[in-house]
Amino acid sequence: MNALDVVAPQLALLVTAGILLVLEAMLPGKRRWLPYVALMGLAVSAAWTTSWVIRDDYQTIFDGTFSLDQYSVFFYYVFAGITALVVLSSIDWVNTAGRGKSEYYALLLVSTAGLMFLAGARDLITIFVALELSSIPQYILAGWAKDRRSSEAGLKYLILGAISSAILLYGMTLLFGFTGETVLPEIGAALAADDGANRALIVVAMTMIIAGFGFKLAIVPFQMWVPDVYQGAPTPITAYLSVGSKAAAFAVVIRVFFEAFGADFVSNDWANIFAVLAAITMTLGNVLALVQTNIKRMLGYSSVAQAGTILIGLAAVSASGQEFTLAANAVLFFLAAYAFTNLGAFAAIIAITHRIGSDEIADFAGMWRRAPILAAVLAFCLVSLTGIPPTAGFWAKLYVFYAGVQADLVWLVVIGVLNTTISAFYYLGVVRHMFLGEAEEMSPVRVSPGIGVSVAVTAAGVLIIGVFPGPVLDAANEAVQVFAGG
């Protein structure tokens, strides 16, 4: 029963998903209540998580394979908040689609449960099962619209996801074959005892694990799925993939490399790999985003570039030796700030594109006259993605860059700053279209209550974190103390 209590936040989501499927079958005339049932399940999950925070009695269960600690709790809240905002943003689109409402929300909840399991997994097998639990619903949701573009997105996401899973599994197999362990701390102890005698084999396994996770992180050269999937998937699902899936990938990568690959003889290897990948990912993502005319494809490449910026923090974690708290804190803070910012941008885009029937940037011209609040929120979120104060994105980039400087990665921080300048051209280019362009139509864009709440919450989050970053920084700092031994 204690184990069930530990995984109760995930069970609440899985049970709610089952209830959603039963409700639509038993009460077909009450489908309008389905999103609110999903929100109730998320609220129960968050409440149960809060009960563990109040008890302050974190535990590791299943022979050390799963841990409920401050680190996983931080991400539980992030995932629950992301999914709640995506559910609210999806109501209009799902009603328009007119089919599979319960399945849509159920798949979202199942995927979120998988993301939560990923945040607490400390075992290679548990990590892989959680990864597939979160990924398979995402493959289905990416093709949910069932038009040519959406079907292509779902198929491409599935095929490339399967390839990345195979690479990841092979890397895990090599690691298990060498150490005879699957639990991360025990793998770390085995590698430390080896002291570099089999360094080449370990680096090969590590590289394959980076490649497998690189697909979910959307970093170069594993980003090829991003533009097509982001453009073809339903926009609420694009928003979910851009923040939920990415945050979970970084959560599990941090835990794997802290706990399993923390030995001195190998930590510099993965730090250098992440540093090089960060430079390439930032540059390629921003350069390709410059030439995009579709706003979803632009944000897709933007997501790649943002992942490169976060990689600066991962590289700094190892390069700073035992003083990695600053870098890890910066990564977690960046993920929380990015979640608010990107969801806010997508919420505004969902409302606008639902009305104008286009996601081409040129069709956003003059939007401030038709939907001044939506245009203002979208502009504010794009300014935050650029990293201009007073926004959450400014502090996120500042802390990551500061961590890089403290870790003697000045060259990488310089590349990051230059890429931030490049990103301003395409982010602010959208703002220019909305505020300086001439609208061909002047009919107002109406906003549904669900989208209105999402827009308001995310805009408030971007502003509040931008003005008062302290509470989120404190929460992130408490979370990473798990690895610092604090």
Tens-digit pLDDT profile for residues 401-435: 998 898 888 999 999 999 999 999 999 999 998 88
Domain assignment of residue 482, given as a range: 268-486
Determine the Cα–Cα distance for residues 448 and 91; give it in Å rounded to an integer.
9
Tell which residue, 329, 281, 451, 463, has the closest CA to residue 383.
463
pLDDT recorded at residue 264:
74
**Domain count across the chain:** 1
Least confident window among 53-57, 104-108, 174-178: 53-57
Amino acid at 412: L
Strand-pair partners of 76: none
pLDDT at residue number 28: 64
- The mean pLDDT of the chain is 87
* Average pLDDT value for residue range 390-401: 92
Q: Is 100 exposed, middle or buried (0-12, 13-18, 19+ CB in 10 A)?
A: middle
Instruction: Name the burial class of residue 449, with classes exposed (0-12), middle (13-18) and buried (19+) by CB atoms within 10 angstroms of its CB.
Output: exposed
Q: Strands 66-68 and 59-61: what pairing?
A: antiparallel
The average pLDDT across 149-173 equals: 89
Task: Tell me, yes or no, whether 473 lies in a domain.
Answer: yes
Judge whether 223 and 304 are in contact, CB under 8 Å.
yes
- b/e code 166-183 from CB counts within 10 Å (16+ = b): ebbbbbbebbeebbebbb
Q: In the predicted model, what is the mean pLDDT of residues 145-157?
A: 83
When mean pLDDT is compared across 30-39, 165-174, 396-405, the lowest value belongs to 30-39
Task: Quote the pLDDT of residue 459.
Answer: 93
Cα maximum dimension of the chain: 70
Rounded to whole angstroms, the Cα distance separating 165 from 116 reads: 19
Q: What is the mean pLDDT of residues 181-196?
A: 84
Lowest mean pLDDT among 189-198, 404-413, 436-445, 466-475: 436-445
pLDDT at 343: 93
Contacts of 424 (CB under 8 A, 6+ apart): 386, 388
Q: What confidence score (pLDDT) does residue 442 get?
A: 64
Q: Compute the average pLDDT of residues 144-165.
A: 85
Q: Is residue 416 part of a domain?
A: yes
The predicted pLDDT at position 323 comes to 60
Helix (H) or strand (E) holding 60: strand 59-61
Please compute, for residue 111, the number of CA atoms within 13 A of its CA located in the half-sphere on the CB side: 26
Instruction: State CA 139 to chain mean position distance.
Output: 16
Residue 284 in contact with residue 177, Cβ under 8 Å? no
- The pLDDT, as a whole number, for residue 192 is 83
| Residue 441 placed within a domain | yes
User: For 390-464, where are the E strands, in sequence order?
Assistant: none
Which of these, 113, 163, 172, 168, lies nearest to 138 by C-alpha position?
113
Q: How many CB atoms lie within 10 A of CB 195?
A: 11
How high is the pLDDT of residue 355? 79
pTM score, whole prediction: 0.93
**pLDDT band at residue 486, thresholds of 50, 70 and 90?**
very low
Helices 410-436 + 295-319 axis angle, to 10 = 160
C-beta separation of 392 from 340 below 8 A = yes
Q: Is 183 within the bounds of a domain?
A: no
**Beta-carbon contacts of residue 350 (< 8 Å; ≥ 6 apart):** 89, 92, 93, 235, 236, 239, 451
Structural domain contains residue 34: no
pLDDT tens digit sequence for 281-339: 999 999 999 999 899 999 999 999 999 999 998 888 775 445 667 888 999 999 999 99
Nearest to 425 by CA among 297, 230, 291: 291
The pair of structure tokens assigned to 9 is: 């936040």
Tokens of 418: 């230059």
pLDDT of residue 396: 93
Q: Per the domain annotation, does 485 fall within a domain?
A: yes
208-238 pLDDT, tens digit per residue, is: 999 999 988 889 888 888 888 888 888 899 9
Mean pLDDT, residues 74-83 taken together: 94
Cβ burial of 485 (10 Å; 0-12, 13-18, 19+) is: exposed
The whole-number average pLDDT for the span 190-200 is 78
Considering only CA atoms, which of 261, 340, 349 is closest in space to residue 299? 349
Query: Of 15-19, 58-62, 95-99, which one has max mean pLDDT?
Result: 15-19
Q: What is the dihedral of CA 282, 322, 171, 178, to 10 degrees?
A: 160
233 within a domain of the structure (yes/no) = no
Residue 378 in domain: yes
Backbone angles phi, psi at 60, to 5 degrees: -115, 130
Strand partners, 123: 183
Q: Is 165 left (phi over 0), alpha (psi -120 to 50) or beta?
A: alpha
pLDDT tens for 92-133 read: 888 876 666 888 999 999 999 999 999 999 999 999 999 999
Report the pLDDT value the prediction gives residue 93, as an integer from 0 to 100. 83
